[in-house]
A and B are shown apart, each in its own frame.
Chain A
Amino acid sequence: MTTLQHRPDPDTAGAGEASGPADEQTSGGGRPWLIVAVREVVVRVTNRTFLFSTLFTLVFIAGFAAFSAWQAGKTTTYTVAVSSAEGTRLVEQAASTARSTSDTVVITPSTVPGEDAARAAVDRGDVDAWLHETSAGWTLTSGDDVEASLRTPLEGAVRDAALDRNAAAAGTTVEALERGATLGADRFDGQTTNRGFVQAATFAFALLFFMGALMFGQQIAASVVEEKQSRLVEIIATAIPLRALLAGKVVGNSVIAMGQVVLFAGVGLVAVSFTEWSSLLPALSTAVVWFVLFFAVGFFALACLFAVAGALASRTEDLQSTTSPLTTLLMLVYFASFALSGTALKVASFVPIVSVVAMPGRIIAGDAAWWEPVVSLLLMAAFSAVAVVIGEKVYRRSLMQTRGRMSWKQALRTAD
């Protein structure tokens, strides 16, 4: 980034201004891109609409988490009608199994004289189902489908009772019958991370990234077109290099976007820690670090591309069409990142933007050497720098075209 330093020059004095010493006048300009970035941030965070929407989203996330926690903590009570001592014993057995897996499920038996009484009790809603013995074995009859949280422990109890009985009849025990019948599993890398969970986490991060990218990309493009729309562009173009304007916009908006995402994610994680999924959080820690890193750099690279898209438009109304190639590309990349595997995935993990999802996935899978993510990040940073330079060129070329929009092809072809 070039820094424009003001030449301290006594010539610049005068014009009837009550002002400080000449050196104060001329030395404090600072880096133009930083001045632009600071304005972007200040204007955005003091914008009422922005504040309200952020607050609303936070309340929504917190509310959702609170609802989940309440839902998870709620105790469900099932009453099962039985007509025999054997039935009562099975229900009690099921109740103790249910209690040991989740302390929010309570199952109680209720004795009824027979089928008619059972039907009447189910109809009245006093009991959830009727457990009774038929010629084919135990049957659970109910008015509607039986929920899994009641059915599973009951199945277990019936099965255990039957196995015990059958084993005794065959002159052996259940333990003897089951010996050697289990399959052990471990991994060569000795890790115990749940692969399905990692995949789910990857998916969640990727989704977060692309949702954020789509949302904030549009905002960055809109912010770049702002000076053209308000026709301030000529004044600014004579004051600072357009590269500095674009870089400032990209940095300022990326900071806001990242800040917002971190805020949402933070509140979300805190919220999750109050729910039954809290035990999964520690497993995410290393993945989170890599994802955050790639997220930040990838976000910046995308912001640069959206800045180019913004430079093509001359009014906010044109943005829809100038950004649509980007959003399409983004969607393709998003789906490709899940479809790829093997060498294709390896290549993808070095391609800017695609690497945001591909590389952390490989890191978690354990097949990336330490230097690979570093190279991938550097490539993405270089890509961002090139995008800003192209953006400046496009912006300069479409600068005077304050009516209508330019196509990508046109912008790259037109002479200055």
Chain B
Amino acid sequence: MSEHGDRLTRPRATADIELRHLTRTFGEIRAVDDISFTVGAGRLTGFVGGNGAGKTTTMRMVMGVLSPSGGEVLWDGRPITALDRRQFGYMPEERGLYPKQAVVDQLVYLGRLRGLSASAAKASVTTHLERLGLAERAKDHVEKLSLGNQQRVQIIAALMGRPRALVLDEPFSGLDPAAVDNMADLLREHTARGVPVLFSSHQLDLVERLCERLVVLAKGRVVASGSPDELRATSVSRHRLVLSVDAGWVRGVGGVHAVDVEGHTALLEIVEHGAERALLEEALRRGEVHEFSPQRPTLAQIYREVTA
């Protein structure tokens, strides 16, 4: 049975995870403060934020490991239940496995706890071990595996079976580039069948490459959310100007902020709409314009802006 056949003949598991006004306090500290966003069905949603921004606390509340101080989590438009979560794949921040049990045995065990039959769990584990290059380590005790390989086993624990949603806390950390690509392919297969995927990461380039949607968290609050392009649109646009003469004069032009000037080249932010016209006219008066091009901001740049 081919993958494509599966996708065409089987209905898609379309349901959203919705976070509404989710709040969690620890004593005096508001770790998560009134967070609302939606992890869309079939979408890969990246969860970005510095250490202590509240990503892990939020994910724990989505998975029911921690109860919210306020707000709620909806699945398919109704409050989420333990039964729903049982069918979710979850990769917690605190990684762990039974050190003295064989890889295949404990994965089958975890699969059975999630409601798979022994044979279904076994089949799923075998497939995943092969795809992640761990087939020959199946009988080894987990403690004998390298950290990277243990990480792969944990990924399998989250992805095996047919989870209806995926909540993954830093799933890419500790993986080599090949394993990252492997993992990205796996995640895309899940979104292709309509599964909502929420994952957190510090690797912004990776998030930019993979995600259709992005939620940026700072100090327990959502400071930005949307597709990477949407985020860029809200960002102040930058232009690069290359002249035949020294570019120092741009500092005096109104409505334009010179971010960086070096010799003939300047990096500018157009603060006032329409200011670029006056800028170009002035530039042409002073000499030749070799280049005037909009700069596509990187996600890292946007991230720094919104979390500043």
Residues of A within 8 A of B (CB): 4, 6-7, 9-20, 24-30, 32, 35-36, 39, 43, 226-227, 230-241, 399-400, 402, 416
Contacts and interface: CB of A to CB of B under 8 A. Distances in A.
Contacts of A28: 116-120
Q: Which 8 A-B residue pairings sit nearest by Cβ, starting from the closest?
A: A28-B117, A231-B96, A14-B193, A29-B115, A11-B13, A234-B92, A6-B115, A12-B162
Interface in B188-231: 189-190, 192-195
A271 B159 CA distance: 54
The interface centre, meaning the residue of A6, A15, A28 with most chain B CB atoms within 10 A of its CB, is A15
A169 to B, nearest CB: 85
Contacts of B11: 10-11
Nearest to B91: A235
A171 B119 CA distance: 97
Contacts of B87: 6, 12
B81 to A, nearest CB: 10
B120 A236 contact: no
Interface stretch (B64-72, B242-250, B298-306): B64-72
Interface of B: 1, 3, 6-7, 10-14, 60, 63-67, 82-83, 85-88, 90, 92, 94-99, 101, 109-110, 112-120, 123-124, 127, 157-159, 161-164, 186, 189-190, 192-195
Contacts of B12: 11
Given A15-B193, A239-B113, A234 B60 contact: yes
A18 B98 CA distance: 27
Nearest to B90: A238
B110 A17 contact: no
Contacts of B3: 14, 16
B123 A19 contact: yes
A230 B123 contact: no
A9 B98 CA distance: 31
Nearest to A228: B96
A92 B146 CA distance: 82
Contacts of B194: 11
A235 B106 CA distance: 12
Contacts of B88: 238
A234 B169 CA distance: 12
A226 B106 CA distance: 14
B162 A238 contact: no
Contacts of B1: 18
B122 to A, nearest CB: 10
Given A12-B162, A230-B99, A234-B65, A239 B117 contact: no
Contacts of B159: 15
Contacts of B195: 15
B188 to A, nearest CB: 10
8 contacts: A19-B124, A30-B112, A35-B112, A231-B96, A232-B97, A238-B63, A238-B85, A238-B88
Nearest to B62: A238
A238 B65 CA distance: 7
Contacts of B127: 16-19
A15 B114 CA distance: 17
Contacts of A39: 109
A13 B65 contact: no
A365 B183 CA distance: 70
B96 A20 contact: no
A235 B110 contact: yes
The interface centre, meaning the residue of A12, A24, A236 with most chain B CB atoms within 10 A of its CB, is A12
A4 B114 CA distance: 9
B97 A230 contact: yes
Contact of B113 (A10, A24, A236): A236
Contacts of B13: 9, 11-12, 14
